[in-house]
Amino acid sequence: MSTTPTVLLVHGAFADAGSWSGVIAELQSHGIPVLAPSNPLRGLASDAAYIASVASQIDGPVVLVGHSYGGALITVAGTTENVVGLVYVAAYALEEGESLGELQGRFPLSSLVSNLKEWTYPVPGGDPAVEVTIAEDAFPSVFAADVPANVTKVLAAAQRPLAAAAFEETAVASAWKTKPAWALVAGADEAINPEVERFGAKRAGATVVELEGASHAVAVSRPKEVAGLIRDAVRATS
């Protein structure tokens, strides 16, 4: 069994596992095992259960890394026995019993809220459910202001929707109460108010790094710095 933790990268809404490509390359270049599964984006409880299942099947210790909504998932999934650390990247760090909507509601809303586009998807045996993406014309400024325009155009077209119900589901656990945490605050985030990121990180007792001028897509625009914080977590938990 390896003593070097495997890094399990959890992407957030409006993105896919490919958004971690630069971070994965950096971690692999330092010999750190890494896995970036596809996040279902169907709801807090079910998505967290999926991530917990993936983590539990990895031999040896795991450091969970969550971007954006992925932070809410690692907060719950991080209670899995072999998880030894949590890293929040421009992410939500929820308290047990708290929802994304409740945490966001404590602070001025970001530009994201007024730029969501609603879609529907079929639910077996029930009425269609609502999912959301970011309006394509608003995507660059809201999600990826520091990413080259040609890349941002592709990211906007390749968005993966988040089930709207995920905003109201509450966390059933807060793994940061028993596991060490690290957090990266994106200083120019227009998708999550940076104050939300700072508040959650402080409450979780996380070791915090703030990147001035970084957008929500900080893992795409500044992968070396993101990977650097993750490496700190790996070293501390090895």
Query: What's residue 2's pLDDT?
Result: 60
Q: For 96-124, how does the pLDDT look when each residue is reduced to its tens digit (9 = 90+)?
A: 999 999 999 999 999 999 999 999 999 99
**Nearest residue to 94 via CA among 176, 182, 14, 210:** 176
CB 201 within 8 A of CB 208: yes
- Of the chain, the percentage scoring pLDDT greater than 70 comes to 99
The pTM score is 0.97
If you average pLDDT over every residue of the chain, what do you get?
97
Q: For 21-78, how does the pLDDT look when each residue is reduced to its tens digit (9 = 90+)?
A: 999 999 999 999 999 999 999 999 999 999 999 999 999 999 999 999 999 999 999 9
Query: What's residue 3's pLDDT?
Result: 86
- Provide the edge-to-edge strand list for the sheet that holds 34-35: 34-35, 6-10, 62-67, 83-89, 181-186, 207-211
**Nearest residue to 77 via CA among 171, 183, 170:** 171
**Coil/strand/helix, residue 116:** strand
Listed as own residue / partner, the contacts of 49-55 with beta carbons closer than 8 Å and 24 or more positions apart are 49/77, 51/8, 51/10, 51/77, 52/76, 52/77, 52/79, 52/80, 54/8, 55/8, 55/80, 55/82, 55/83
Domains assigned to the chain: 6-109+169-237 (3.40.50.1820)
For residue 214, how many C-alpha atoms fall within 13 Å in the half-sphere facing its CB?
Answer: 24
Residue with tokens 């992410």: 91
Q: For 180-206, how does the pLDDT look when each residue is reduced to its tens digit (9 = 90+)?
A: 999 999 999 999 999 999 999 999 999
How would you write 153-174 as a 3-class SS string? HHHHHCCCCEEHHHHCCECCCC
